[in-house]
A = this chain, B = another copy of it.
Amino acid sequence: MLSAEIIAIGSELLTPQRTDTNSLWLTEKLNSIGVEVMLKTIVGDDELRLEETIRDALKRSDIVITTGGLGPTEDDVTRQVSARAVGRGLVYYEELEGDLRERFRRWGREMPEINKRQAFVIDGAEILPNPNGSAVGMFLKVDRKFLAVFPGPPREMRPMFEDHVLPILSENAGGVVVRRRVLRVSGMGESAVDEAIAPIYKEYTEVQTSILFSRIEIEIHLAARSNDVFKAERVLDELANKIAAALGTAVFATRGETMEEVIAEMLSTRGKTLAVAESCTGGLIAMRLTEVPGSSSYFWEGAVTYANESKIRVLGVPEKILIDHGAVSAETAEAMANGMRERAATDFAISVTGIAGPDGGSEEKPVGTVFIGYSDKEKTKSMKFLFPGDRELIRWRSSQAALDYLRRQMLKLG
């Protein structure tokens, strides 16, 4: 089994505000081809420490991957330091400079002179093209070890790694694979999930099962290691099915899909359309729904009605309901959902009205009080929630509860 080390480079990653996320993604990819990550290092723009880190890593491990520090500015030192660490020089590529100038021209800008640095590459390294940025990557074999040098932005690094480096490492890794599966659960707590499924997953010793709590859902992670891909997949299928059966409709995804992707799939296959009326979530539900490509075919309209006046004018909520029951009430949530559906002429509408805080709570309706409305052609109903957490958490939990409410209603309709 090959071993790997990941080195994240950049002084900003050593501040209290920033954390390195590339290494999580890289770890998953490396694990999937049976490579084990043994060590991760985060190092700043300190040339000596960085050089020592790269050199030590190449002594200890078969594969060394660095991310960051390939930009055009003074403090981007990875290019020259990694060359030094492997005892090689940098070579200037005229065509790389040409590409850079062309790239800037297409943006309607002149290439700043400092970007010229990005045309230098470690002697003998394979150049990894970067379709999403100006810094190319580098890949080289040093004795029997591999060194891959990537820019830091995930959207640049990821395709470069997948297209050019992963296939080569996979060939060299020789056959052990790890297959993963993520199930997502809504409306149950972490311990309740564990109690229900521990007797099941404990029978599968070849699968590593972990239950993780994210801010809006419980995730069940399964990882099966085998030298037979099909066997690993078969074991995962079996275990995932048993878990899904034990938890029932609380499981909304068995292959890592997000709630908005599940809703997308359900609406599309049923040929149904949706509109959303939001108060305290302020556009978050619409934003999540429209993150899915192609959402315009089933998501027709959203309204963010913060002001009472907007609820009346845009959604047709009767003023009497707002006066008698308040903006945060079951009656208002239902009038919002019904009004939204009628005006947008969709099959379904959902609505949210609540108090996300930090202000606006009362003894009767404390911060976290949220009403979710649902309306279809036959009926309009609502549910009351009391969410713990700060403003951001309450908004996210409300958006998840609203989408989950819609999902459960659609399941009932069949």
> What is A's interface to B at a CB cutoff of 8 Å?
11-12, 14-17, 19, 21, 24-25, 27-28, 31, 36-46, 49, 52-53, 56, 60, 71-75, 107, 109, 112, 114-115, 132, 153, 155, 180, 189-192, 194-195, 198, 208, 210-213, 215, 221, 223, 276, 278, 280-287, 289-291, 293-296, 299-307, 309-310, 313-314, 343-344, 357-359, 388-393, 395
Contact = CB atoms under 8 A, between A and B. Distances in A.
Contacts of A290: 280-284, 304, 306, 395
Contacts of A280: 290
A32 B301 CA distance: 46
A223 B11 CA distance: 11
Number of identical protomers: 2
Contacts of A358: 293
A interface, over-half SS:
mixed
A5 to B, nearest CB: 9
Given A287-B282, A303-B304, A39 B38 contact: no
28 contacts: A11-B208, A11-B210, A12-B210, A12-B221, A14-B38, A14-B39, A15-B180, A16-B24, A16-B180, A19-B24, A38-B44, A39-B44, A41-B41, A45-B210, A71-B213, A72-B191, A73-B190, A112-B192, A114-B191, A114-B194, A155-B215, A155-B390, A276-B304, A282-B302, A283-B286, A283-B289, A293-B357, A299-B306
Q: Which 10 pairs, one residue from A and one from B, show the smallest C-beta to C-beta distance?
A: A282-B290, A283-B286, A302-B304, A283-B283, A16-B28, A283-B287, A112-B191, A40-B42, A286-B304, A301-B310
Contact of A393 (B155, B180, B302): B155
Given A14-B39, A15-B223, 19 more contacts: A14-B38, A15-B221, A38-B43, A72-B190, A73-B190, A107-B189, A112-B195, A283-B287, A283-B304, A294-B359, A299-B306, A300-B309, A300-B310, A301-B310, A302-B304, A303-B304, A310-B344, A313-B343, A314-B314
Given A12-B212, A49-B39, A391 B359 contact: no
A289 B293 contact: no
Nearest to A106: B388
A398 B33 CA distance: 37
A281 B287 CA distance: 7
- Of listed A38, A132, A210, A304, residue having the most chain B CB within 10 A: A304
A344 B172 CA distance: 62
A84 B175 CA distance: 36
A290 B279 CA distance: 10
A278 B290 CA distance: 11
- Of listed A28, A42, A276, residue having the most chain B CB within 10 A: A42
Contacts of A299: 282, 306
